[in-house]
Each structure stands twice: as structure tokens, then as C-alpha cells.
């Protein structure tokens, strides 16, 4: 399935999700701290030069939609969120995210996941979004719960949370 990337930012209450731009690469590389390396698969050896190439490529990548999480009033960068199509027929996707340290603790991730899920269910023929966290990653589990993801046990070593398509008025 081709993901039609939005032309305009996706607006949440206090955040907006926009396409990554090559000029964001330095910020992205520097924003990742030990907390992010602990809980995500972000490569430590990523450089701004590599990332600029990846940003160029992902804008035409059919199964991956990566967004910068920004503060809606100021436009400043807060973090990263991505939706990845995980199933051959394109009906399942996984959401992944992180916030730079100064952006944590004020609900930005909750709002970002909610906004991305709403856009995905409205725009794509997706039936199910999955969110996988480490068993010790309580902050991410709280985000999953606050957005309305339902716990579904474990997949491998990680906890699985899912959100399924609902009638449009009750989504996320």
C-alpha cells in the first residue's frame, strides 16, 4: 500500500505533525538521548548526512510515514513519530515515537499518537494500529493507555497494545 503523505501538517491540540525536512537533520541527531537509545531502535551512529539522505528517501517510501512532532504555536521541534505498514495487505501498521528530553512530561506524545492514529484511520485502509513497548517502559505504556490503545499481551519480549478501526466519530 502506498501511504499518501499529507501536504499540510496534521494538527493536534497543542502539537502539529509535519514531514521531516533535510534542515531538521542536525536537530534530530542531537535530540536523541540515552532514554531514547534505551527504548527505541534509533541507531547511535546515525549522522546528519545519513539522515538527510533518509529524509529524501522516506518522502517517496510507500510503507513508512515519518513526522516531526512540533509545538503548534511556535513550530519548534519536539520529537519524532512514525507509522509503518507491517502487513503485506497493508491493513496493519505500527506506530513508534520519541520526544526530546525538554518536550517530555506535558502530554505531547499522547497528542501526537492520537493525531497520527486519527489521520491513519481517516486516510488509509488500515484496520489496526499496533504499539509495542518494553515491559519496563512505563511512560510509553501510559501514552498507549491515554490514547486508547488496548493491551493485548506480549509479542516476544515486548508488550503489545492495539487500536482498531472504529466508526469515524469515535476514533481516537
| Rounded Cα distance, 132 and 152, in Å | 10
Q: Count the site residues for ligand COA by CB under 6 A.
A: 21
Q: Does 104 bind ligand COA (CB under 6 A)?
A: yes
Which of 10, 25, 69, 109: binder of ligand COA (CB under 6 A)? 109
Cβ contacts of 154 within 8 Å, gap of 6 or more: 135, 160
> Grid coordinates in use for 149?
490503545
Q: Does 148 bind ligand COA (CB under 6 A)?
A: no
Q: Does 139 bind ligand COA (CB under 6 A)?
A: yes
- Looking at beta carbons only, is 127 or 134 nearer to ligand COA? 134
> Does residue 68 sit in helix, strand or coil?
strand
| Rounded Cα distance, 95 and 117, in Å | 8
Q: Does 146 bind ligand COA (CB under 6 A)?
A: yes
> Does residue 132 sit in helix, strand or coil?
strand
Which of 35, 59, 84, 91: binder of ligand COA (CB under 6 A)? 35
Q: Using only C-alpha atoms, what is the Rg of the chain?
A: 15
Q: Does 116 bind ligand COA (CB under 6 A)?
A: no
**H or E stretch covering 96:** strand 92-99
What does DSSP say about strands 77-85 and 64-71: parallel, antiparallel, or unpaired?
Answer: antiparallel
Q: Given the rule CB under 6 A, which of 6-14, 53-61, 86-94, 95-103 is the region that contacts ligand COA?
A: 95-103
Cβ contacts of 53 within 8 Å, gap of 6 or more: none
- Looking at beta carbons only, is 35 or 46 nearer to ligand COA? 35
Which of 6, 90, 107, 148: binder of ligand COA (CB under 6 A)? 107
Q: Does 86 bind ligand COA (CB under 6 A)?
A: no
Q: Which residues bind ligand COA (CB under 6 A)?
A: 35-36, 39-40, 97-99, 104-105, 107-110, 133, 137-140, 142-143, 146
Amino acid at each position: 500500500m502506498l501511504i499518501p503523505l499529507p501536504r499540510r501538517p496534521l494538527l493536534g491540540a497543542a502539537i502539529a505533525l509535519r514531514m521531516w525536512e533535510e534542515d531538521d537533520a542536525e536537530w534530530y541527531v542531537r535530540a536523541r538521548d540515552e532514554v531514547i537509545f534505551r527504548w527505541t531502535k534509533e541507531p547511535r551512529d546515525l549522522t546528519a548526512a545519513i539522515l538527510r539522505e533518509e529524509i529524501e528517501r522516506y518522502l517517496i517510501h510507500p510503507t513508512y510515514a515519518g513526522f516531526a512532532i512540533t509545538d503548534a504555536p511556535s513550530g519548534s521541534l519536539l520529537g519524532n513519530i512514525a507509522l509503518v505498514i507491517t502487513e503485506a495487505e497493508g491493513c496493519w501498521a505500527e506506530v513508534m515515537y520519541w520526544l526530546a528530553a525538554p518536550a517530555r512530561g506535558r502530554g505531547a506524545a499522547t497528542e501526537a499518537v492520537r493525531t497520527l492514529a486519527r489521520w491513519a484511520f481517516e486516510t488509509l485502509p488500515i484496520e489496526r494500529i499496533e504499539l509495542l513497548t518494553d515491559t519496563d517502559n512505563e511512560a510509553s505504556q501510559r501514552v498507549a493507555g491515554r490514547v486508547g490503545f488496548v493491551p493485548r499481551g506480549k509479542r516476544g519480549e515486548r508488550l503489545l497494545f492495539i487500536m482498531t478501526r472504529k466508526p469515524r466519530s469515535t476514533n481516537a
